[in-house]
């Protein structure tokens, strides 16, 4: 006796990540392709034998749709130096959690740098608040990025992190008040030994 169960699987192929920031050298638009592919499961029961199940992928495309997605360029979110391959993520006041846009920026960054380097994640804060709080905030910023790189992007022990608090400003206090340039995380590369 043979019983066939049809199971439909949706396979979403993203041909390129949406470019949510123009600080990285990626295409302006992306194309997403969605394909419906048939998969079915065959269950066989013959008298005197154990029931056998086998999943068969048909690999026949039943439907294909393409959609071009516009980008949302946000220069203020990050700065990328192509020569040193250093990425700087900017943060709003008193924030340490990554935004969806920053997740996308980090994915793009990892695609660019490859797998033969360690990534140093430096957390920074401005001088608003106590020195102790700013040290904690810069550590949280660096840790959020490191956790995302390790867990979501599977980079494991390639990530090193350090928190500077307010000790390493990138700009003057008046400039920081205008654009928050000291509230940042900097990712840089270290060659593996």
Q: End of a domain among 42, 69, 96?
A: 69
Q: In terms of domains, do 8 and 82 share one?
A: no
Task: Supply 1's token pair.
Answer: 């006796």
Domain co-membership, 102 together with 23: no
Other C-beta atoms closer than 10 Å to the C-beta of 174 total: 7
Residue 75 or 166, more confident: 166
Q: Tell if the pTM clears 0.85, that is, is over it.
A: no
pLDDT of residue 72: 44
What 3-state DSSP class applies to 117?
Answer: strand
Mark whether 61 and 134 lie in a shared domain.
no
Q: Tell me: the pLDDT tens digits for 52-100?
A: 666 666 665 555 554 443 444 344 678 888 888 999 999 999 999 999 9
pLDDT for 6 equals 32
Buried b (16+ CB within 10 A) or exposed e, 131-157: eeebbbbbbbbbbbbbebbbeebebee
Report residue 39: phi and psi, to 5°.
-135, 140
Question: Comparing 22 with 12, which gets the higher pLDDT?
Answer: 22
Q: Mark whether 82 and 138 lie in a shared domain.
A: yes
Q: Are residue 63 and residue 82 in the same domain, yes or no?
A: no
Q: Are 146 and 92 in a shared domain? A: yes
pLDDT, tens digit, 9 for 90 and up, residues 4-18: 333 222 222 222 233
Same domain assignment for residues 11 and 63: yes
For 111-159, how does the pLDDT look when each residue is reduced to its tens digit (9 = 90+)?
A: 888 766 899 999 999 999 999 999 999 999 999 999 999 988 888 888 9
Same domain membership, residue 134 and residue 55: no
Domain boundary pick from 17, 49, 69: 69
- Name the residue range of residue 164's domain: 75-191
- Mean pLDDT, to the nearest integer, of 161-169? 95
Mean pLDDT, residues 24-37 taken together: 50
Q: Are residues 153 and 104 in the same domain?
A: yes
User: Among 12-26, 33-47, 178-192, which is the least confidently predicted range?
Assistant: 12-26
* Structural domain count of the chain: 2
Strands (E), the chain: 2-14, 30-44, 52-69, 78-81, 86-90, 117-123, 159-163, 184-191
Q: Provide the pLDDT confidence category of residue 50 given band limits of 50, 70 and 90.
A: low
Do residues 65 and 80 both lie within one domain? no
Q: What is the pLDDT of residue 56?
A: 66
Judgement on whether residues 29 and 102 belong to the same structural domain of the protein = no
Q: Residue 106 is part of a domain; what is its CATH number?
A: 3.30.1330.60
- In the listed set 39, 69, 99, which residue is the last one of a domain according to the structure? 69
Together in a domain, 90 and 169: yes
């Amino acid at each position: 006796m043979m019983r066939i169960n049809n199971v439909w699987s949706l396979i979403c192929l993203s041909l390129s990540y949406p470019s949510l920031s123009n600080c990285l050298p990626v295409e302006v638009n992306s194309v997403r392709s969605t394909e419906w592919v048939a998969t079915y499961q065959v269950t066989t029961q013959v008298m005197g034998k154990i029931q056998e199940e086998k999943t068969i992928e048909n690999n026949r495309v039943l439907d294909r749709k393409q959609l071009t997605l516009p980008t949302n360029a946000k220069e203020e979110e990050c700065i990328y130096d192509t020569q040193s391959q250093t990425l700087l993520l900017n943060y709003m006041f008193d924030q340490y959690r990554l935004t969806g846009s920053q997740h996308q920026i980090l994915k793009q960054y990892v695609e660019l740098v490859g797998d033969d380097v360690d990534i140093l994640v430096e957390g920074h804060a401005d001088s608003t608040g106590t020195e102790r709080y700013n040290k904690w905030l810069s550590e949280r910023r660096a840790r959020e990025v490191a956790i995302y790189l390790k867990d979501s992007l599977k980079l494991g022990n390639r990530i090193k992190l350090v928190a500077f608090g307010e000790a390493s400003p990138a700009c003057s206090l008046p400039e920081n008040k205008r654009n928050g340039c000291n509230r940042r995380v900097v990712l840089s590369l270290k060659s593996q030994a």
